[in-house]
Structure 1
Amino acid sequence: MKRGVQFLLLIFSLAVFAQKETVDTAQVVIPNRYNSVEAQTKPYVIMISTDGFRYDYAKKYNAENLLKFSNEGVQAKAMIPSYPSITFPNHWSLITGLYPSHHGLIDNSFYDYKRKERYAMTNSKNVEDGSWYGGIPLWSLAEKQNVISASLQWVGSASDASDTRPTYYYHYHKEFSPLQKIDKVISWLSIPEEKRPHFISLYFPEVDYNGHHFGPDAPQTENAVHVIDQAIGELVKRVNDLGLKDVNFIFVSDHGMTKIGNDNRIDIPEILLNKGDVDYYNSQTLLRVHVKDPKKVKTIYRELKAEKNVNYQVYLTKKFPTYLHFSTKDDHYNRIGHILLVPDPGKTFLDKDEKSPSGNHGYDPAIVQDMKSTFFAWGPKFKKELVIDEFPNVDIYPLVAKILNLKMISPVDGDLQRLVKILK
């Protein structure tokens, strides 16, 4: 009996080991790419995203390095995420300059009725399939103009969106620590000039993870902020040690985080559970409804409005507030749905047996201040000791294009005029 148990434990251990071995942590390098002679004289931009890093976290948790660098350079009072204020849509907005409804990544998970296929952020096949993504990401814009780029796990960076991946990239996994990611960036900047990336995008998930699991005021979230702050301090120090000229840093986040109380639950309306002529898609802070027969949209809308529930608002998508850029006329890929159910701040739609998070995001940043994100920038191209007002995150795209002197080859929603004042 004892030997049998030992044998089973051995088999289990080998299975676990084998699973770990399947994680692909290798760098992918696209061969035969080189910086043009002109590109070798361009500045460097290192664009860092820390998921869920709320606009006030640096001060709230005394992130010494980020406060020092932002005080010496440029800091925004806050940055306004695109709606809905969730991870995949906003990372793609930051990197393409387009609102989610315009680039097609309208949620972390959604169904495309034309393709008859679901996209999910947990599906690596989806995530690396560029046909899901609209717009021209900054790394593609750079590569198309003979400027080498690199990306470390930014949303969509392993995909062939716009037919062009970064020269250097990694498949998404959770194996690298923040300091190991810094090592990767330094290794890129140590490559000979003809193949050295001038645009680098870098992603950290730790703050968002802890904000969801423990809440924005928890010591675990504070610790995660300090871990990232230390990594940024190490990055800047090691970049300075390389002696490169004109290295510019942009630190951003995709959204903020708000505390969720114990009485936050909203059950999915029975109408949606019991009707066979609708599909619904729940991201907790937004519930999207697709009506299979368009002739029934108004009827189902009226039934939902008649529900006596004071915890959410019901909208026809075609009449959704214009300033959120999420109405039917904005829906370039026809993925949003016909009806939107928007929970009140702090409330969440939860499916049966679904556990409530301690912190969440996705709400309208004009209503929930905690949704607002962070923007800091420092380096030779930026003015010093400058504080600016809030601005939409789609403006980052034309800003980076300006610094790298890249020609914009497709219209975007971002406006450089709101940020040109921060450049020397």
Structure 2
Amino acid sequence: MNRIAAALALGFASVLGGCAGYTDTPVASAAVAEQRAPVTILVSIDGFHPDYLERGLTPTLSRLAGEGARAAMRPSFPTKTFPNHWTLVTGLVPDHHGIIANRMEDKTRPDEAFTMATVDPYWWNEAKPVWVEAEEAGIRSAAMFWPGSAVAWGGTAEGYGPVPDGTMASDWQAFSMQVTNTQRVNSVLDWLRRPAEIRPEFVTLYFDTVDSAGHGGGPVGEEIDEALRDVDSHIADLLAGLESLGQPANLVLVSDHGMAPTGSNKMIVLDEIVDASLYRAVESGAYATFEATEGNTAALEAALLRDHAHMECWRKGEIPARYQYGTHPRIPPYFCLPDTGWTITTRASDATWSGGSHGYDPFAPEMASLFIAHGPAFRSGVTIETFQNTAITPLLRHLIGLPQAARADGDLADVADALAAQN
């Protein structure tokens, strides 16, 4: 039982207050004797813009937001999935924790590239996730599909195998799209059904379906609406399962970024701006990164570092300071950022398409991310000021009883207005 959670176990009356909707069932009554301490559950709904709560499609999430604390959270840059999920559990911006993109390269590993399937600890070892620190402190953790949860932190490529030589959550599952949202929720509830000595005190849970729908059909339309209904129903299933277990919970529900509409009518074609022989593109899409080909640095800079319609380009060391990005050696030498909703591509195409994208300016309203905090540790019915997602790790450390980290880009003070008075 962790230090903070133990103090919050106020008997069955507070259990009822922790997750609204509890009823006096025989199962819940049987749990009274155990007086379970609140579990901390971090839930990511990838690509969930906070305005989605206003569509009338998410009664469970909207109720949690109304009964708890909420905010429009600002993601870190770039507003991509893996950089922001690692920020949420390390408290560092991507420029400091090393997961600087969904796809990246490292000059010390010239024959390979990082992708979203990479679990080699080499790429992840610059920042310790909160579940590793919890495990080191004797606080049992479990991770359902969180990006990086299948990595043996601190290990080596040579030692990564059936018995990794690094540290992981006590329980974890590697991401698979074949595992349904129902199976994900049921796995979390199964972990919480265990005897106290092997029951997690900190859990992460990840849903990707809202993001997938947003990419496919854009942030408005039946495709995204159906995904919102579905994920809301699974949050309701999670709450019902917690109720049946008599398990109070401090829920922290977040997203990694929002979603902007885009399409073939908002394309920036690099071949129309710079000769393809002058550069090698590392990434393109919601932003683009480049290296000059041999002997072509001056020519590439002359083409890139000038005024462009709907796009700005910089040397990595000259990226505006507000993005907190540009010092890490994995960031390529040149970076171009389009207006929100525009797409950078290397070649022209006659295809007509529409959808959604992210990766843009984190201060753009379309990129705002979700924050809902609900449970005995939090105030009820408050909306707090927008804050950067680097504050989520300090909040989690507080909830599970870890001291605050010396190395951090966020601060618990950034979310203090969400906490109940005794916290």
Tell me which interval the TM-score lies in, with the shorter structure as reference length: 0.7 to 0.9
Is 1:150 paired with 2:142? yes
Per-residue deviation, residues 171-219 of structure 1 (Å, max 9, x unmatched): 2111222122111111000111111111100110100101101111010
Amino acid at match of 1:392: Q
1:360 alignment counterpart: 357
Is 1:62 paired with 2:57? yes
1:253 alignment counterpart: 255
CA distance in structure 2 between the partners assigned to 1:54 and 1:117 by the alignment: 37
1:39 to 1:423, Cα distance in 2 relative to 1, 3 A: closer
Per-residue deviation, residues 261-291 of structure 1 (Å, max 9, x unmatched): 4311111246765336x42222301111123
What is the alpha-carbon root mean square deviation over aligned residues?
Answer: 2.2
Per-residue deviation, residues 375-398 of structure 1 (Å, max 9, x unmatched): 001001111111111100110000
CA distance in structure 2 between the partners assigned to 1:275 and 1:251 by the alignment: 46
Is 1:101 paired with 2:95? yes
1:117 to 1:389, Cα distance in 2 relative to 1, 3 A: farther
Aligned mate of 1:399, from 382, 389, 395? 395
What's the % identity of the aligned pairs? 31
1:64 to 1:209, Cα distance in 2 relative to 1, 3 A: same
CA distance in structure 2 between the partners assigned to 1:147 and 1:283 by the alignment: 41
1:115 to 1:261, Cα distance in 2 relative to 1, 3 A: closer
1:279 to 1:62, Cα distance in 2 relative to 1, 3 A: same
Q: How many residues align?
A: 376
Runs of 4 or more above 4 Å deviation:
37-40, 270-273, 295-299, 353-357
How far has the Cα of 1:38 moved from its partner?
Answer: 6.0
Aligned mate of 1:140, from 125, 132, 148? 132
Per-residue deviation, residues 290-340 of structure 1 (Å, max 9, x unmatched): 2366x964552222235x741311112211110100123xx2xx0112211
CA distance in structure 2 between the partners assigned to 1:290 and 1:111 by the alignment: 11
1:38 to 1:395, Cα distance in 2 relative to 1, 3 A: closer
1:301 alignment counterpart: 301
Amino acid at match of 1:135: A
1:265 to 1:216, Cα distance in 2 relative to 1, 3 A: same
CA distance in structure 1 between the partners assigned to 2:193 and 2:64 by the alignment: 23
Within a 5 Å distance, the mapping from 1:9-408 to structure 2 comes to 41=6, 43-76=38-71, 78-122=72-116, 124=117, 126=118, 128-133=119-124, 134-162=126-154, 163-245=166-248, 247-269=249-271, 274-275=276-277, 278-291=279-292, 297=297, 299-306=299-306, 309-328=308-327, 331=328, 334-352=329-347, 358-366=355-363, 368-408=364-404
Amino acid at match of 2:338: P
1:89 to 1:167, Cα distance in 2 relative to 1, 3 A: same
CA distance in structure 2 between the partners assigned to 1:48 and 1:40 by the alignment: 18
Amino acid at match of 1:157: S
Amino acid at match of 1:116: P
1:143 to 1:391, Cα distance in 2 relative to 1, 3 A: same
SS of residue matched to 1:377: strand
* Residues 139, 165 of structure 1: 8 Å contact kept: yes
1:275 to 1:262, Cα distance in 2 relative to 1, 3 A: closer
TM-score, length of structure 2 as denominator length:
0.84
Per-residue deviation, residues 138-180 of structure 1 (Å, max 9, x unmatched): 1101101011100111100000124311111112111222122
1:373 to 1:150, Cα distance in 2 relative to 1, 3 A: same
How far has the Cα of 1:117 moved from its partner?
Answer: 4.2
2:161 alignment counterpart: none
* Residues 272, 279 of structure 1: 8 Å contact kept: no
CA distance in structure 1 between the partners assigned to 2:409 and 2:416 by the alignment: 15
CA distance in structure 2 between the partners assigned to 1:284 and 1:190 by the alignment: 44
How far has the Cα of 1:352 moved from its partner?
Answer: 3.6
Amino acid at match of 1:207: V
Amino acid at match of 1:259: P
